[in-house]
């Protein structure tokens, strides 16, 4: 809904200032609601909330300032360090309950309690954005006018547009605790409708958690708001007096700057993070709020890869004296700053998740395949959609032939070949079996198709099948080595993480013989070779219950794991940059880029948008991603 800046008053006090984007102010009732709820929010006390210092609903644009709390958001901390230990989880629950007690005591309902709105400080958690969620979420309303929050953290009554009271925050608290304990939100699904069905459906099982923690979360999820525990009752059940040393959690960086509110699947806050160069805000005469903070309009300039860039925010004291503060946001887990990229292009048109993206060999065209049954072709320079290839079912995969004249799509009814120039379908291969993945050999003479009955090799001159590898096994991913001599396959295996039937296999393409078997311990969602052909990467689930995710690189000759790149959610897609130095990984919680040799995360990309597919342009300067929301994004990684 706006941009978040780190600011400092003339007296040296650090603040977090949220500046509302103009398009949200066009709603006639926005300023009235904003003024009313900001005024009430300023009355909220309590140790576990961020104090509202000042606000100006009549400014252009409106803004609100809160106390700055050093520390990462819960969302960022879990992404970097994994689930909390039970003792730290109890401290988190107690602190959030105390914060909600203060908020509800001021006759406010948060309405948007989620990991991105919780800051982890050295002495406990803090709730931010309380009391203004309703004003800031005017774009998410039902037909009856009920205000919604972030979908996977909503209560049943929020999803149904019913009356929302304090108990709705308790339901959300249960979901936050489940996420912190397991690394996954049990209600999150691939579509909004499926997420709502999960929220209003049976209470999820919480296997593997301590009995008292599981019982507390389950009680918070009671479908009847009147039967959920109050914050005071939750606090009494946490028994934190016996938990000395449980906080801060392992991995906490006490010198970290506060993370701004996370922009998850439903949020839209633009965060001034380390490395990006956000708007430069200039001092305007005359306008300050009661607390003496002056914020004025800004003009954006884009430099997406700049490291160590700064936002300049003007702040003024009551007497009108102004200072200027470079707002740099270092990562919570590192002394050296990383950069955060913003997309340089955002394309819409698909109405289901974008399952696969692929650049043409010359980099001029991007193909995007979606669950909506279409493949769209885009001119990369102009951003214009040049063609739509309509299918009668979902499209799981797309890739170009090396000559750029043909592309192949993978569907539940086989692989289909298309002319790029005319947009006409040429033929269908393997029409009786789902084509889970497709890959051309570098010379374009052979096509590999991962099917439910093995990996099929097709001769492209004759359109005939020439071999089946891993016969009878569901092959989910296929990839050729850069020299075309080796094919990597990844089977589906058991749904149980850690089972002994989940493998990546390397095959000699000429002899059709298996030359390497690698036990993954988890089903691979994606597989890609490094440009030198000496390693390949897989993206998978991880953790005891498969809630977390991991990308790994593997040595082709030895079959051993070379590097490990952790995510908090299953990794859905992996891609090497053309120079081989960088690996891009996409998951439900994040898009990340890694230095392959050091396993160091180079940059955070975007605002937590779920990423289904990733691909580098041939020159390595652009990264394309396909999202769960049907959006295609391009990122300048030059």
Residues annotated as part of the active site: 112
Residue whose C-alpha is closest to residue 541's, from 477, 599, 592, 498: 498
Q: In what order do the strands lie in the sheet with 582-587?
A: 339-341, 600-605, 591-595, 582-587, 571-576
The Cα angle at residue 115 between residues 112 and 119, in degrees rounded to 5: 105
Spatial contact of 491 and 502, defined as CB atoms under 8 Å apart: yes
402 exposure class (CB count in 10 Å sphere: 0-12, 13-18, 19+): middle
CB atoms within 10 A of CB 336: 10
| Parallel, antiparallel or unpaired: strands 454-459 and 464-469 | antiparallel
Structure tokens given for 235: 């606090």
End-to-end CA distance of the chain: 29
Cα–Cα distance for residue pair 76/82, rounded to 1 Å: 10
CB atoms within 10 A of CB 338: 19
Instruction: Collapse the DSSP code of 290 into the 3-class scheme (helix H, G, I; strand E, B; otherwise coil) and give the result.
Output: coil
Structure tokens given for 413: 């009814």
Cα–Cα distance for residue pair 359/366, rounded to 1 Å: 4
Torsion of CA 514, 520, 525, 531, to 10 degrees: -60
Range list of β-strands (E), 243-321: 270-271, 280-281, 298-299, 311-316
The secondary element (H helix, E strand) that includes residue 35 is: helix 30-41
Spatial contact of 304 and 344, defined as CB atoms under 8 Å apart: yes
The Cα angle at residue 611 between residues 545 and 473, in degrees rounded to 5: 55
Cβ-proximal residues to 242 (8 Å cutoff; 6+ apart), any chain = none
Cα–Cα distance for residue pair 70/247, rounded to 1 Å: 15
Cα–Cα distance for residue pair 591/567, rounded to 1 Å: 10
Cα–Cα distance for residue pair 497/208, rounded to 1 Å: 15
Cα–Cα distance for residue pair 508/286, rounded to 1 Å: 74
Structure tokens given for 11: 């007296």
Instruction: Collapse the DSSP code of 180 into the 3-class scheme (helix H, G, I; strand E, B; otherwise coil) and give the result.
Output: helix
Cα–Cα distance for residue pair 267/501, rounded to 1 Å: 39
Spatial contact of 438 and 399, defined as CB atoms under 8 Å apart: yes
Structure tokens given for 260: 């701004």
Give CA 89 to chain center in angstroms.
Answer: 23
């Amino acid at each position: 809904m706006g941009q978040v800046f780190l600011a400092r008053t003339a007296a040296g006090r650090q603040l977090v200032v949220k500046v509302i984007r103009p398009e949200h102010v066009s709603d006639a009732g926005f300023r009235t609601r904003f003024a009313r709820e900001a005024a009430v929010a300023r009355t909220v006390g309590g140790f576990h909330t961020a104090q509202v210092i000042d606000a100006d609903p009549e400014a252009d644009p409106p803004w609100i300032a809160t106390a700055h709390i050093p520390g990462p958001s819960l969302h960022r901390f879990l992404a970097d360090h994994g689930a909390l230990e039970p003792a730290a989880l109890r401290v988190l629950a107690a602190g959030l309950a105390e914060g909600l007690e203060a908020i509800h005591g001021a006759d406010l309902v948060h309405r948007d309690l989620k990991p991105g709105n919780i800051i982890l400080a050295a002495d406990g958690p803090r709730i931010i954005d309380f009391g203004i969620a309703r004003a800031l979420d005017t774009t998410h309303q039902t037909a009856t006018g009920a205000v919604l929050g972030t979908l996977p953290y909503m209560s049943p009554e929020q999803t149904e547009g019913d009356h929302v009271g304090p108990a709705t925050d308790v339901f959300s608290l249960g979901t936050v605790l489940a996420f912190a304990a397991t690394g996954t939100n049990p209600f999150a699904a691939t579509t909004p409708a499926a997420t709502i069905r999960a929220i209003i459906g049976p209470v999820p099982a919480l296997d593997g958690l301590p009995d008292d923690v599981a019982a507390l979360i389950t009680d918070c999820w009671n479908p009847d708001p009147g039967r959920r525990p109050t914050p005071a009752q939750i606090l009494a059940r946490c028994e934190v007096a016996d938990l000395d040393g449980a906080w801060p959690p392992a991995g906490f960086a006490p010198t970290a700057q506060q993370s701004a509110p996370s922009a998850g699947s439903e949020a839209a806050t633009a965060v001034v993070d380390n490395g990006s160069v956000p708007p430069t805000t200039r001092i305007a005469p005359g306008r300050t709020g009661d607390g003496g903070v002056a914020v004025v309009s800004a003009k954006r300039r884009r430099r997406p890869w700049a490291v160590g860039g700064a936002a300049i925010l003007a702040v003024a004291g009551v007497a009108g004296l102004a200072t200027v503060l470079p707002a740099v946001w270092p990562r919570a887990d590192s002394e050296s700053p990383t950069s955060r990229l913003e997309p340089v292009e955002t394309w819409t048109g698909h109405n289901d998740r974008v399952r696969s993206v692929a650049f043409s060999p010359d980099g001029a065209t991007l193909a995007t395949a979606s669950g909506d049954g279409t493949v769209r072709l885009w001119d990369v320079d102009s951003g214009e959609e040049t063609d739509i290839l309509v299918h009668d079912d979902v499209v799981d995969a797309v890739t170009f032939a090396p000559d750029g004249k043909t592309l192949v799509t993978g569907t539940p009814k086989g692989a289909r070949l298309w002319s790029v120039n005319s947009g006409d379908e040429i033929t269908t291969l393997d029409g009786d079996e789902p084509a889970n993945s497709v890959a051309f050999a570098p010379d374009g003479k052979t096509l590999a198709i991962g099917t439910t009955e093995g990996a099929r090799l097709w001769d492209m001159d004759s359109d005939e099948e020439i071999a089946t590898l891993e016969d009878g096994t569901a092959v989910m991913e296929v990839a050729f080595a850069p020299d075309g001599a080796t094919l990597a396959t990844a089977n589906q295996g058991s749904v149980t993480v850690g089972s002994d039937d989940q493998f990546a296999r390397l095959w000699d393409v000429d002899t059709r013989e298996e030359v390497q078997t690698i036990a993954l311990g988890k089903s691979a969602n994606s597989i890609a070779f490094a440009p030198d052909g000496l390693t390949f990467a897989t993206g998978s689930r991880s953790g005891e219950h498969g809630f977390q995710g991991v990308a790994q690189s593997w040595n082709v000759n030895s079959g051993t794991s070379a590097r490990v790149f952790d995510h908090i959610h299953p990794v859905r897609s992996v891609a090497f940059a053309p120079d081989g130095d960088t690996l891009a990984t996409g998951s439900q919680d994040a898009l990340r880029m890694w230095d392959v040799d050091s396993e160091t995360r180079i940059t955070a990309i975007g605002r937590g948008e779920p990423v289904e597919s990733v691909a580098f342009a041939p020159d390595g300067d652009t990264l394309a991603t396909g999202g769960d929301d049907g959006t295609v994004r391009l990122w300048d990684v030059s």
